[in-house]
Structure 1
Amino acid sequence: MPLFIVAIGVALLLLLMIRFKLNGFIALILVALIVGVLEGMPVSKVLVSIKSGVGGTLGSLALIIGFGAMLGKLLADCGGAQRIATTLIDKFGKQNIQWAVVVTGFTVGFALFYEIGFVLMLPLVFSLAATARIPLLYVGVPMAAALSVTHGFLPPHPGPTAIATIFHADMGKTLLYGAILAVPTVILAGPVYSRFLKGIDKPVPEGLYNPKIFTEQEMPTFAVSVWTALVPVVLMALRAVAEMALPAGHVILPYAEFFGDPIMATLISVLIAIFTFGINRGRSVQQVMDTISDSIKIIAMILLIIGGGGAFKQVLVDSGVGNYIASLMEGSSISPLLLAWSIAAVLRIALGSATVAAITAGGIAAPLIATTGASPELMVIAVGAGSVIFSHVNDPGFWLFKEYFNLTIMETIKSWSVLETIISVCGLIGCLLMNMAIS
């Protein structure tokens, strides 16, 4: 019955948005209310869940997306994004531009949370698509695939890191196995799959990309453009290295954690960009602040829709749907890797959040390691892979991709949801094959 109610909620959400053209944020809140009541939650508790879902989703994400949008707009408006795009096109050639995006996304994805990397790389993707005159998803899908694989497979991302802790897995081995499996997965879900999406050719969204063609003198250098954009990556990577290499209580560790925190790292990058992309390019402080104000106006509705997705997810969690699914999966005798992946996949489809699905599935599957002797490192990746399967309307990431790429719901399912499913299935197959090789 709980899963039937979730199915009704998803169907209602699609009806409200596709048939009645209701705003996504309003539709998500209405559906969250209805599903919560039908699941038997008191009305007052449903409201509490919705508030905590919006607040929990946007708590730090609003700051990170806000600072990321500021950095991206400054990068675009000064010509930095054009400089990076033209340089990459010159080096790789138009026919190989997807590989440039994959390499960049994979590198950025090691240190950045998915949402941060997505927002920071969007100006580059928009610039490449506009400059090379190629379909937006042709470069957008490889970028999203690279970021999503690192988010699902590799520490220090929240899901894999939390599961590795639960499973007592070796973090170095997890990173090594995950990186080996990530390469073919990114290739299949990114450059290969994007070739099947040529029918979806959307223009670059207005306001998120500056169509002005800058002269050579107007643009900052390639080094300045890249290093300013990568400041958050460097700071968060240093934090990750410090946490792995330094003992607890080391005098440097608190500073590394402070400056490497995603919010602090993106704030520092904006402050640096105000100088390198603004004042140092001859722009007044007022002009730079106008650019920053414009960037926030652009993402206002996007933030609300992501918050609505978080509200729907929280109602599903608080109503006990996760516990119900867990009880259904107990007592099975199938492969521990397949079982762990299946638990995470079902939770992901029902709850939306990859991190919540991964951590919940990790707690359920942890006893399997001791009883079956399965590799804890491969179990981490199996759960991580299951946790990214078929993102749809109850996942804030679905709306992030939809809104930024200006897609319809069906176009988002065809591109983003299928992309995530390819990553998930490839991760499972890779784990099973690697398990045969190392056992």
Structure 2
Amino acid sequence: MTLPTLVLPAATETVEPVAGDGQLITAALVGIAVLVLLITLVKLHPFLSLTIGSLVVGLVATMPMADTVAAFTKGFGETSANVGILVALGAMFGKLLADSGGADAVVDAIVGRSSARVLPWAMAGIGALIGLPMFFEIGLVLLLPIVFLVAKRSEQNVVALGIPALAGLSAMHAFVPPHPGPLIAIDAVKADLGTTLGLGILIALPTIVVAGPLFGKLAARWVHLPAPTTFERTNVPEHGARPSFGATVATILLPIVLMMAKAVVDVLEVDGWIGTALDFLGTPIIALLISVLVAMVVFGRGARMRRDEVMKIVEGSLPGVAGIILIVGAGGGFKETLIETGIAQVVADWVKDSGFSVLVVAWLVAVGIRLATGSATVATVTAAGIMAPIATDLGSVETSLLVLAIGAGSVFFSHVNDAGFWLVKEYFRMDVPQTIKTWSLMETVLSVTGLGVVLLADLVVGLL
């Protein structure tokens, strides 16, 4: 999954490979194999395994070890700086939501108004709604309390509800502006923003249906997970007070509204103090920070908690996510090591001159780079840069479909070199094989289905 960054690489930026193509491919495969073996057989902690795997990649690729360490620490630092802060703030928000009883209020409303068959569809819809303006990581930490509590209250496998929610988040991230991937591709191939936005939503909806509720039902047969107790309410006061449903929903939606406002300002290029203020308030870190402060007041008062009780909840939310932040940061370091070796450029060059359909080629380029680097943003940037000259011969709708084909390819099969893989694994408390059977395959279904819908849309446009 793409990580939220403040500065994204330019579409024309390339990395000079440090070795021959065959050696780089071997380095990537050996590094990933070592990583998987250390985690699954040796049972080494993922943080240590990712660090060692990065060193192995650099060693086999004959990259100077000093450069390998520099690449790993760069990726670790950038990932931790972005995702670490968001995970910490999200953990605070989630703990306040749970311990105040606010999550219970939302869960009671959802479970009380939905049958067991409808719940996965409801989770997919909520995931898509939250994922429309928000980064995947932020949407994940906001959704988890609801997903886990709904699973526990309804006595359903958490996979059956979690996969649809993840599909909604991921699809919006891949297909719909103002997420960074689609925006970068739109700029690179000179596509129309409005056309791409409309087509992106239309293509995302059926893709979510297939990769979410339908695949989630299948994945739940392979992996059965009880709902973690992470977000269960503790220390319930005798008076049983909790925030109202309306106040809880409004507080949950606050960061979404702030980030959506920033997106509108960016797209419409609003100037003046209003534009500046909304652009600042809608920055993910600021939006979540404001939401945590508001939650302390709204949830605290709703549950009739004292100030020291609220502060204790906030403090108690952090130890549980320390390990997650380290693992996700190390995943970012592993990804950066693969990028700095030049593997992304090698994969792009391999498929650039193939004779396939333009849309299929764009998807393949993004898939190859996604598999090699674990970064959807890098895959989008590189694929868009390669396809830019070809896009000049396409019409407006076809160019937008090209952007969406790239977006579909950029989320293909998230695995051990993707920080999002580790984020999902740790939050859902799965092992590596379980994460691959659920999250990785869901991303693959989403990617392939997305391409299929894009090709179908292209066929319809051709007939008109």
TM class by shorter chain equals over 0.9
Alignment of 1:155-166 (within 5 A): 155-166=177-188
- How big is each residue's C-alpha offset from its partner over 1:307-359, in whole Å with a ceiling of 9 and x where there is no partner? 11100000011111111112212222211100000000000011001111111
Counterpart CA distance in 2 for 1:349 and 1:77 is 39
Counterpart CA distance in 2 for 1:200 and 1:212 is 32
Q: Name the aligned partner's letter for residue 156 of structure 2.
A: I
Q: Is the 8 A contact 1:208 1:298 kept in 2?
A: no
Aligned position for 1:82: 104
How far 1:244 sits from its partner (Å)?
Answer: 2.3
Aligned position for 2:4: none
Aligned position for 1:416: 439
Give 1:114's match in structure 2, choosing from 116, 130, 136.
136
Instruction: State whether structure 2 residue 414 is matched by structure 1 residue 391.
Output: yes
Q: Name the aligned partner's letter for residue 394 of structure 1.
A: N
Aligned position for 1:144: 166
- How big is each residue's C-alpha offset from its partner over 1:86-114, in whole Å with a ceiling of 9 and x where there is no partner? 10111222331112211111111111100
Q: Is the 8 A contact 2:414 2:420 kept in 1?
A: yes
- How big is each residue's C-alpha offset from its partner over 1:109-158, in whole Å with a ceiling of 9 and x where there is no partner? 11110000011100000110111111111110010000000011111111
SS in 2 for 1:251: helix
Counterpart CA distance in 1 for 2:454 and 2:234 is 44
Q: 1:438 to 1:51 in 2, by over 3 A?
A: same
How far 1:219 sits from its partner (Å)?
Answer: 2.1
- How big is each residue's C-alpha offset from its partner over 1:239-292, in whole Å with a ceiling of 9 and x where there is no partner? 112222344x33321111100000000000000000011144321222111111
Give 2:72's match in structure 1, choosing from 39, 44, 50.
50
Instruction: State whether structure 2 residue 225 is matched by structure 1 residue 188.
Output: no
SS in 1 for 2:62: coil
- How big is each residue's C-alpha offset from its partner over 1:375-429, in whole Å with a ceiling of 9 and x where there is no partner? 2111111000000000000001111111111111111100001100011001111
RMSD after superposition: 1.6
Aligned position for 2:48: 26
Tell which deviates more after alignment, 194-203 or 34-43: 194-203
Counterpart CA distance in 2 for 1:262 and 1:343 is 30
Counterpart CA distance in 2 for 1:211 and 1:198 is 31
Give 1:428's match in structure 2, choosing from 451, 456, 461.
451
- How big is each residue's C-alpha offset from its partner over 1:197-251, in whole Å with a ceiling of 9 and x where there is no partner? 234222233434337778995221111111111110010111112222344x333
SS in 2 for 1:95: coil
Give 1:318's match in structure 2, choosing from 340, 348, 353.
340
SS in 2 for 1:125: helix
- Displaced runs of 4 or more, over 4 A: 211-217, 371-374
Q: Is the 8 A contact 2:348 2:368 kept in 1?
A: no
Counterpart CA distance in 2 for 1:211 and 1:349 is 41
Q: Is the 8 A contact 1:205 1:405 kept in 2?
A: yes
Q: Is the 8 A contact 1:110 1:150 kept in 2?
A: yes
Q: 1:53 to 1:175 in 2, by over 3 A?
A: same
SS in 2 for 1:112: coil
Counterpart CA distance in 1 for 2:103 and 2:449 is 33
Q: Name the aligned partner's letter for residue 336 of structure 1.
A: V
Give percent identity, aligned residues only: 38
Q: Is the 8 A contact 2:99 2:236 kept in 1?
A: no
Tell which deviates more after alignment, 161-170 or 324-333: 324-333
Q: 1:212 to 1:323 in 2, by over 3 A?
A: same
Q: 1:29 to 1:208 in 2, by over 3 A?
A: farther
How far 1:361 sits from its partner (Å)?
Answer: 1.2
Instruction: State whether structure 2 residue 426 is matched by structure 1 residue 406.
Output: no
Q: 1:320 to 1:102 in 2, by over 3 A?
A: same
Q: Is the 8 A contact 2:189 2:392 kept in 1?
A: no
Aligned position for 1:129: 151
Tell which deviates more after alignment, 355-364 or 335-344: 355-364
Report the TM-score, using the length of structure 1 for normalisation.
0.96
Instruction: State whether structure 2 residue 191 is matched by structure 1 residue 169.
Output: yes
SS in 1 for 2:413: coil
Aligned position for 2:11: none
Q: 1:371 to 1:74 in 2, by over 3 A?
A: same
Give 1:17's match in structure 2, choosing from 27, 30, 39.
39
Aligned position for 1:231: 254
Q: Is the 8 A contact 2:191 2:399 kept in 1?
A: yes
Q: Name the aligned partner's letter for residue 26 of structure 2.
A: F
How far 1:187 sits from its partner (Å)?
Answer: 0.8
SS in 2 for 1:283: coil
Alignment of 1:279-294 (within 5 A): 279-294=301-316
Counterpart CA distance in 1 for 2:372 and 2:352 is 17
Give 2:402's match in structure 1, choosing from 379, 388, 391.
379
Q: Is the 8 A contact 2:133 2:259 kept in 1?
A: yes
